[in-house]
Protein backbone atom coordinates (compact mmCIF):
# COMPACT_ATOMS: atom_id res chain seq x y z
CA UNK A 1 0.00 0.00 0.00
CA UNK A 2 1.43 3.48 -0.85
CA UNK A 3 2.39 5.95 1.89
CA UNK A 4 1.45 9.60 2.11
CA UNK A 5 3.78 12.42 3.28
CA UNK A 6 3.53 11.68 6.99
CA UNK A 7 4.18 8.03 6.50
CA UNK A 8 0.61 6.82 6.99
CA UNK A 9 -0.61 4.07 4.82
CA UNK A 10 -3.10 5.27 2.31
CA UNK A 11 -5.27 3.60 -0.28
CA UNK A 12 -4.38 4.15 -3.91
CA UNK A 13 -6.72 6.34 -5.89
CA UNK A 14 -9.64 3.96 -6.50
CA UNK A 15 -10.04 5.21 -10.04
CA UNK A 16 -6.57 3.94 -10.79
CA UNK A 17 -7.26 0.61 -9.20
CA UNK A 18 -10.44 0.15 -11.15
CA UNK A 19 -9.34 1.64 -14.44
CA UNK A 20 -5.71 0.79 -15.06
CA UNK A 21 -5.61 2.77 -18.31
CA UNK A 22 -5.40 5.98 -16.17
CA UNK A 23 -1.97 4.89 -15.08
CA UNK A 24 -0.64 4.69 -18.60
CA UNK A 25 0.60 7.69 -20.54
CA UNK A 26 -1.89 8.79 -23.16
CA UNK A 27 -0.66 7.62 -26.57
CA UNK A 28 0.00 10.20 -29.30
CA UNK A 29 -2.84 10.72 -31.72
CA UNK A 30 -0.55 10.35 -34.72
CA UNK A 31 1.69 7.53 -35.88
CA UNK A 32 5.32 8.15 -34.85
CA UNK A 33 6.67 7.51 -38.35
CA UNK A 34 4.10 9.85 -39.91
CA UNK A 35 5.12 12.58 -37.46
CA UNK A 36 8.78 11.95 -38.37
CA UNK A 37 7.87 12.23 -42.06
CA UNK A 38 6.05 15.52 -41.42
CA UNK A 39 9.12 16.82 -39.60
CA UNK A 40 11.26 15.77 -42.57
CA UNK A 41 9.00 17.77 -44.92
CA UNK A 42 9.10 20.68 -42.45
CA UNK A 43 12.92 20.57 -42.53
CA UNK A 44 12.86 20.86 -46.33
CA UNK A 45 10.30 23.69 -46.30
CA UNK A 46 12.32 25.67 -43.74
CA UNK A 47 15.42 25.21 -45.92
CA UNK A 48 13.55 26.39 -49.02
CA UNK A 49 12.12 29.48 -47.30
CA UNK A 50 15.71 30.58 -46.66
CA UNK A 51 17.06 29.64 -50.10
CA UNK A 52 14.32 31.51 -51.97
CA UNK A 53 14.55 34.47 -49.60
CA UNK A 54 18.29 34.95 -50.11
CA UNK A 55 17.79 34.52 -53.90
CA UNK A 56 15.11 37.21 -53.80
CA UNK A 57 17.40 39.62 -51.96
CA UNK A 58 20.39 38.94 -54.25
CA UNK A 59 18.39 39.18 -57.48
CA UNK A 60 16.80 42.42 -56.29
CA UNK A 61 20.28 43.74 -55.51
CA UNK A 62 21.49 42.80 -59.01
CA UNK A 63 18.51 44.58 -60.60
CA UNK A 64 16.57 41.50 -61.78
CA UNK A 65 13.28 42.58 -60.25
CA UNK A 66 11.08 40.13 -62.15
CA UNK A 67 13.12 37.13 -61.05
CA UNK A 68 13.41 38.56 -57.53
CA UNK A 69 9.62 38.89 -57.33
CA UNK A 70 9.22 35.24 -58.28
CA UNK A 71 11.77 34.09 -55.69
CA UNK A 72 9.98 36.13 -53.02
CA UNK A 73 6.62 34.56 -53.92
CA UNK A 74 8.19 31.11 -53.72
CA UNK A 75 9.66 31.90 -50.30
CA UNK A 76 6.20 32.90 -49.03
CA UNK A 77 4.73 29.74 -50.57
CA UNK A 78 7.25 27.62 -48.70
CA UNK A 79 6.28 29.38 -45.50
CA UNK A 80 2.68 28.33 -46.05
CA UNK A 81 3.85 24.74 -46.56
CA UNK A 82 5.86 24.91 -43.33
CA UNK A 83 2.79 26.24 -41.50
CA UNK A 84 0.68 23.32 -42.77
CA UNK A 85 3.31 20.87 -41.52
CA UNK A 86 3.51 22.52 -38.09
CA UNK A 87 -0.29 22.55 -37.72
CA UNK A 88 -0.55 18.89 -38.70
CA UNK A 89 2.25 17.79 -36.36
CA UNK A 90 0.54 19.62 -33.48
CA UNK A 91 -2.81 18.10 -34.40
CA UNK A 92 -1.19 14.64 -34.29
CA UNK A 93 0.27 15.59 -30.90
CA UNK A 94 3.88 15.54 -32.05
CA UNK A 95 6.53 18.24 -31.66
CA UNK A 96 7.53 20.37 -34.66
CA UNK A 97 11.30 20.35 -35.09
CA UNK A 98 12.30 23.87 -36.09
CA UNK A 99 16.06 23.32 -35.71
CA UNK A 100 16.87 21.01 -38.65
CA UNK A 101 17.92 22.33 -42.05
CA UNK A 102 19.36 20.91 -45.23
CA UNK A 103 22.27 22.78 -46.90
CA UNK A 104 20.99 26.16 -48.11
CA UNK A 105 22.11 26.34 -51.75
CA UNK A 106 22.85 29.93 -52.70
CA UNK A 107 24.77 30.43 -56.01
CA UNK A 108 26.49 33.47 -57.49
CA UNK A 109 24.35 34.10 -60.59
CA UNK A 110 20.68 34.08 -61.54
CA UNK A 111 21.19 30.97 -63.64
CA UNK A 112 22.84 29.18 -60.73
CA UNK A 113 19.93 30.24 -58.51
CA UNK A 114 17.50 28.61 -60.92
CA UNK A 115 19.61 25.44 -61.09
CA UNK A 116 19.80 25.24 -57.30
CA UNK A 117 16.07 25.81 -56.97
CA UNK A 118 15.47 22.99 -59.45
CA UNK A 119 17.76 20.59 -57.57
CA UNK A 120 15.96 21.37 -54.30
CA UNK A 121 12.45 21.06 -55.77
CA UNK A 122 13.26 17.76 -57.53
CA UNK A 123 14.64 16.30 -54.31
CA UNK A 124 11.50 17.47 -52.52
CA UNK A 125 9.24 15.71 -55.06
CA UNK A 126 11.00 12.40 -54.28
CA UNK A 127 10.80 13.05 -50.54
CA UNK A 128 7.06 13.82 -50.71
CA UNK A 129 6.29 10.72 -52.78
CA UNK A 130 8.12 8.56 -50.25
CA UNK A 131 6.16 10.05 -47.35
CA UNK A 132 2.84 9.82 -49.22
CA UNK A 133 3.47 6.08 -49.60
CA UNK A 134 4.03 5.87 -45.82
CA UNK A 135 0.73 7.69 -45.14
CA UNK A 136 -1.09 5.14 -47.30
CA UNK A 137 0.60 2.32 -45.40
CA UNK A 138 -0.46 3.87 -42.08
CA UNK A 139 -3.99 4.72 -43.28
CA UNK A 140 -3.41 8.41 -42.48
CA UNK A 141 -5.45 9.87 -45.33
CA UNK A 142 -5.62 13.35 -43.80
CA UNK A 143 -1.84 13.71 -43.82
CA UNK A 144 -1.69 12.14 -47.28
CA UNK A 145 -4.05 14.78 -48.64
CA UNK A 146 -1.93 17.58 -47.20
CA UNK A 147 1.22 16.10 -48.73
CA UNK A 148 -0.60 15.57 -52.06
CA UNK A 149 -1.33 19.31 -52.22
CA UNK A 150 2.27 20.21 -51.45
CA UNK A 151 3.48 17.69 -54.04
CA UNK A 152 1.28 19.27 -56.69
CA UNK A 153 2.65 22.75 -55.93
CA UNK A 154 6.23 21.44 -55.86
CA UNK A 155 5.73 19.83 -59.28
CA UNK A 156 4.40 23.17 -60.55
CA UNK A 157 7.59 24.85 -59.29
CA UNK A 158 9.67 22.25 -61.18
CA UNK A 159 7.61 22.86 -64.29
CA UNK A 160 8.13 26.64 -64.07
CA UNK A 161 11.88 26.11 -63.72
CA UNK A 162 11.99 23.73 -66.71
CA UNK A 163 10.28 26.45 -68.76
CA UNK A 164 12.99 28.92 -67.70
CA UNK A 165 15.77 26.53 -68.77
CA UNK A 166 14.10 26.07 -72.14
CA UNK A 167 13.77 29.83 -72.53
CA UNK A 168 17.44 30.33 -71.67
CA UNK A 169 18.36 27.71 -74.26
CA UNK A 170 16.13 29.38 -76.87
CA UNK A 171 17.12 33.03 -76.45
CA UNK A 172 20.41 32.88 -74.52
CA UNK A 173 21.10 33.89 -70.94
CA UNK A 174 21.73 37.59 -71.76
CA UNK A 175 18.35 38.01 -73.44
CA UNK A 176 16.69 36.01 -70.70
CA UNK A 177 18.16 38.25 -68.03
CA UNK A 178 17.12 41.38 -69.96
CA UNK A 179 13.57 40.00 -69.98
CA UNK A 180 13.69 39.53 -66.22
CA UNK A 181 14.97 42.93 -65.15
CA UNK A 182 11.61 44.56 -64.67
CA UNK A 183 8.77 43.01 -62.75
Which CB, 76 or 173, lies closer to Fe ion?
Answer: 76
Provide the minimum distance between the beta carbon of 176 and Fe ion in the complex, in angstroms, as a whole number. 25
Applying CB under 5 A, which of residues 40, 59, 74, 78 lies at the interface with Fe ion? 78
Region from 51-59, 71-79, 90-98, 171-179 binding Fe ion, contact rule CB under 5 A: 71-79
Residue 116's Cβ-count burial label (10 Å; 0-12, 13-18, 19+) is: middle
Site for Fe ion, residues 39 to 58, rule: CB under 5 A = 45
Site for Fe ion, residues 80 to 99, rule: CB under 5 A = 81
Residue 87 and residue 126: Cα distance in Å, rounded? 22
Provide the minimum distance between the beta carbon of 1 and Fe ion in the complex, in angstroms, as a whole number. 57
First to last CA, the chain: 77
SS3 state of residue 160: helix
Provide the minimum distance between the beta carbon of 154 and Fe ion in the complex, in angstroms, as a whole number. 6
Provide the minimum distance between the beta carbon of 45 and Fe ion in the complex, in angstroms, as a whole number. 5
Residue 105 and residue 119: Cα distance in Å, rounded? 9
How far, CA to CA in Å, does 166 sit from each of 28, 87, 119, 154, 171? 48, 37, 16, 19, 9
Does 59 sit near Fe ion (CB under 5 A)? no
Instruction: Give the nearest residue (CB) to Fe ion.
Output: 81
CA–CA–CA angle 98, 138, 145 (5° rounding): 65
Count residues binding Fe ion (CB under 5 A).
3
Question: Given the rule CB under 5 A, which residues bind Fe ion?
Answer: 45, 78, 81
Amino acid sequence: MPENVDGKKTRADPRHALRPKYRKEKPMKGDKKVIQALNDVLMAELTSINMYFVHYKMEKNWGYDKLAHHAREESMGEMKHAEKMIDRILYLEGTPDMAKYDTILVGDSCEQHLKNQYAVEKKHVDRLKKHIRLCLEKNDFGTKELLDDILEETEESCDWLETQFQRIQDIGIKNYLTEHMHG
